[in-house]
Amino acid sequence: MQPTILLLLLPLLALATSSPRAPLSRSEYSALGRSLSPAQRRAFEASPHSGLAKKLAAAEVEKKQLEKKALKKKKGKRCTPKNKGSSSSSSSSSSSAPTDVGAGNVAGSPTAQDPPPATQAAPTTTTTTSSAAPTTSASSSGSGSSGSDSGSGSSGSGSTDDPNGILTGTHTGQGTFYAVGLGACGVTNVPTDAIVAVSEKLFDVYPGYAGPGSNPNNNPVCGKQLKATYQGVTQTVTVQDRCTGCAMWDLDMSTGVFDKFADEALGRLNGVSWEWV
């Protein structure tokens, strides 16, 4: 029985192992199987050759499927080429692109820069130099300056050239004394000199003076003489300094002038009247 089966299977094996011919398809394998009689088919399936034939047929089918897949994959690569340069550049640009999103901006779009600030003009500074370093008198008598115009006044009337009424009439204020020296007018005095310091309020607005910041040595009030009277005693004195603690019509005197009016123990004299010579 076995030689007969082998003779029948020789065509199948030849077809399956022949290199010029393609492997048997499933339909061809079934057609050849149907050509066997039922007894021959049962004998073949019971023999070890049946399993070998099935494995060969299955191997050929699997090989054909793998070749089709490989061919399909290869065709897919040719149809859709991969541009490595553009891909890498796009990925790097996307990774380096800013992600800040401003109000009203789309993500990744450049934001408008603020306009540069307007250039401001550099401020100019005017510097005035003085020919002599002035000193300002501070009253050393009594408890210091009065700090107000109480008890003082002026009988002068203002004008266009003299709005404060400094140059006319009789003025009344307090009298004090201080340690004289180099004054705002640029002159150095001694205690026995008949000099006074007028208030900064009068000194800074004296007609013809440029005002604070200018050279006080050039103030027209410097060297002016006035007559000061207290309790019937009158003295002629010269303006040589500026008193920072005095009220408008006060006079800060040298000790030589003050001693002729009263004892220094009084410190402050109320009701000192004066007028320009």
Q: What pLDDT, on the 0 to 100 scale, is given for residue 222?
A: 98
With a pLDDT cut of 90, the percent of the chain lying above it is: 42
Q: How far is the C-alpha of 236 from the C-alpha of 276, rounded, in Å?
A: 9
pLDDT in tens, 121-172: 444 433 333 444 455 566 667 544 444 444 467 766 667 888 999 999 999 9
Two structure tokens written together for 175? 């009298």
String of b and e for 253-263 (b: at least 16 CB within 10 Å)? bbbbbbeebbe
Q: For 108, left (φ over 0), alpha (ψ -120 to 50), or beta? A: left
Task: Tell whether the model's pLDDT for residue 71 goes beyond 60.
Answer: yes
pLDDT in tens, 176-213: 999 999 999 999 999 999 999 999 999 999 999 999 99
Two structure tokens written together for 271? 């009701």
Domain 153-276: assigned CATH number: 2.40.40.10
What three-state secondary structure class fits 229?
strand
Mean pLDDT of the chain: 75
| Burial of 193 per CB tally in 10 Å (0-12, 13-18, 19+) | middle
Greater confidence (112 vs 251) lies with 251
User: How far is the CA of 136 from the CAs of 101, 106, 223, 240, 264, in angstroms?
Assistant: 65, 70, 16, 10, 21
Q: Which residue has the tokens 């709005």?
A: 163
Each domain of the chain, given as residue ranges in start order, spans 2-79, 153-276
Task: Tell whether the model's pLDDT for residue 270 goes beyond 90.
Answer: yes
User: How far is the CA of 209 from the CAs of 92, 205, 213, in angstroms?
Assistant: 76, 7, 11
Residue type at 215? N
Strand partners for 198: 242, 251
Segment among 66-70, 146-150, 219-223 with least mean pLDDT:
146-150
